[in-house]
Chains A and B, each alone.
Chain A
Amino acid sequence: MAAINWRTINIDALDPESAYNFDLSTLTPTIQPISTPDVQTLSGQIRQLLRGGNAEGALRGALENAPYGADEQGKVMPQALHTTLVTECLNQIRATEMSPLLQRIYQSDGGSELCDTLMKYLYKGMGQGAASHTSGNVHGGGGGRNLTPQATGGFTQAGGRSFGGGEGGMSVFLSWHEKLVEMVGPGSIVRVMSDRRTV
């Protein structure tokens, strides 16, 4: 007998009927591959809008062009880049403007889809915690600081924890989440969980 450790043989690979031998990508929605330079160009354009004070347009653009098909190899992570970008947009928008802005997005063509995408980024942002927030401010420049919605310094749970850092951070995501769920209901949350096109 040859020295094959039969306990470590992957028997699924030997069974032609097994799901292991099946390309799962055919089951997922088709997504357009997008190259890293394209994502970078795009984020440059959106940042331009943001600097021009058009936060709504920037957010809309960022959500419409979520790089699902970006390849995650190499040094630059296009997906992370885009998440940072969306976070910046969210940070630029005042708390009082959230609801009317979401209303406008939701009622526009394909608005439901955009809101689902925004929900994905909110969860992504909350999952990343402090890291994305910090990088968001670095890229966003000085302007972003004064415009964070919860600048009142009031007592929030998020502020008391390390990831909030007293600047909003998690609380920004949470207040966006609250406003968004008010409008699109739990359906959107379920869609984020079941969607194979992740951000």
Chain B
Amino acid sequence: MAAPEVHHLFHAPIADHSFSADRSTLAVARDNNVELYHRAGNAFKLQDELRGHDKTITGVDIAPRSGRIVTCSQDRNAYVWEPSQNGEWKPTLVLLRINRAATGVRWCPNETKFAVGSGARIIAVCYFEEENDWWVSKHIKKPLRSTVTSIAWHPNSVLLAAGSTDGHARVFSSFVKGIDERPEPSVWGERLPFNTVCGEYLNPTAGWVHDVAFSPSGDALAFCAHDSSVTIVYPSGPEQPPQAVISIATQLLPFASMLWSSETELVAAGYDCGVYRLSGDANGWQLTGTLEEKKERPGMTEQREESALNMFRSMDLKGRSGGAALDDTKLKTVHQNSINTVRAFQENGGQVRKISTGGVDGRVVVWNV
């Protein structure tokens, strides 16, 4: 397996990151601005900056086909950025009508809508209204009881999953008349007017939910929560109890983000700083390993044999018995701090081959799955 491709962009947390469809442009949320990096050889060079928000940006997403960028921030606003003729980015304000910070934003797969989670116990589903030339939002309010931490879209662009700090992961319909085609009936339901609650799941300890994700087919939902658990739900049909709810309690620190690399495999990362793999199906799931390479990263050589002289010298100079070669200020993982987002980087035949992760350490890493 090839080594992960590490891009250390700056020394500040990356709240969210997103690649363009051709993977040559990388948008990174840094404080109040979104920085656009362009691939130059093996590295990413800063090319442009999207300025407009006046508080920390919490979400950024590039629509793969239209190339439009949506950002949301703690200043309670969202902007849609479109490239203009002279190469500059033109922002359009979206009226979210929320009175708390926006926490995250995602385009739906067909790119006609996007959803913004917020601390106001609201999900704002936004779509473009031609006659007013304006992005408008519709609110999903019930039965959210707390901040929405994450949002994930079903492949049919109508169903929406949301994780919340009230410990629930929920599946909603975001059907907007005139924008959406009537979706095919699925395990989540047949008639789906706006704000239909298609599923509501609580994890065993009611810890808050960090991230939610639909499987590639959309027929299963996974969510990770602050009790270090990952729960996978297989619904059986509308208004019926799910056929399987599998919850795995891990020995690690909680996961903050995850995605399905295939119908039977999940990739998750978070406060443990490493990227982990889980696999299973409706009969059971388990943690199967990590994407980190076990040994011999550059600059991470094993502790060498120490002479007694070196040991005492080191104890004298540094007050500890480790040798000079031993660098214990570095984590053994590729990311040197917790990971905020996991994104698909390359897909092939319905399977995710490469993923990208962005973390608090200012790194964006591309991994082979």
Residues of A bordering B, CB below 8 Å: 19, 22, 27-29, 112-113, 116, 184-188, 190-191, 194-197
Contacts and interface: CB of A to CB of B under 8 A. Distances in A.
Given A19-B145, A194-B226, A194-B227, A28 B252 contact: no
A187 B229 CA distance: 8
A112 B145 CA distance: 29
5 contacts: A19-B145, A186-B228, A190-B226, A191-B207, A195-B206
B250 A187 contact: yes
Given A22-B145, A187-B228, A191-B227, A197 B249 contact: no
B205 A191 contact: yes
B227 to A, nearest CB: 4
A199 to B, nearest CB: 13
Contacts, number: 65
B251 interface: yes
Contacts of A196: 167, 205-206
B206 A187 contact: no
The 6 closest A-B pairs by CB, nearest first: A185-B251, A194-B207, A187-B228, A195-B205, A191-B227, A187-B251
A188 B250 CA distance: 8
B202 interface: yes
Nearest to A183: B251
B251 A116 contact: no
A188 to B, nearest CB: 7
B274 to A, nearest CB: 13
Nearest to B207: A194
Given A27-B145, A195-B227, A190 B253 contact: yes
B33 to A, nearest CB: 33
Interface string B155-181: 000000000001110000000000000
B207 A187 contact: no
A194 B206 CA distance: 7
Contacts of A195: 205-207, 227
A22 B250 CA distance: 32
Interface string B191-222: 00000000000101111100000000000000
A112 B252 CA distance: 13
A7 B68 CA distance: 48
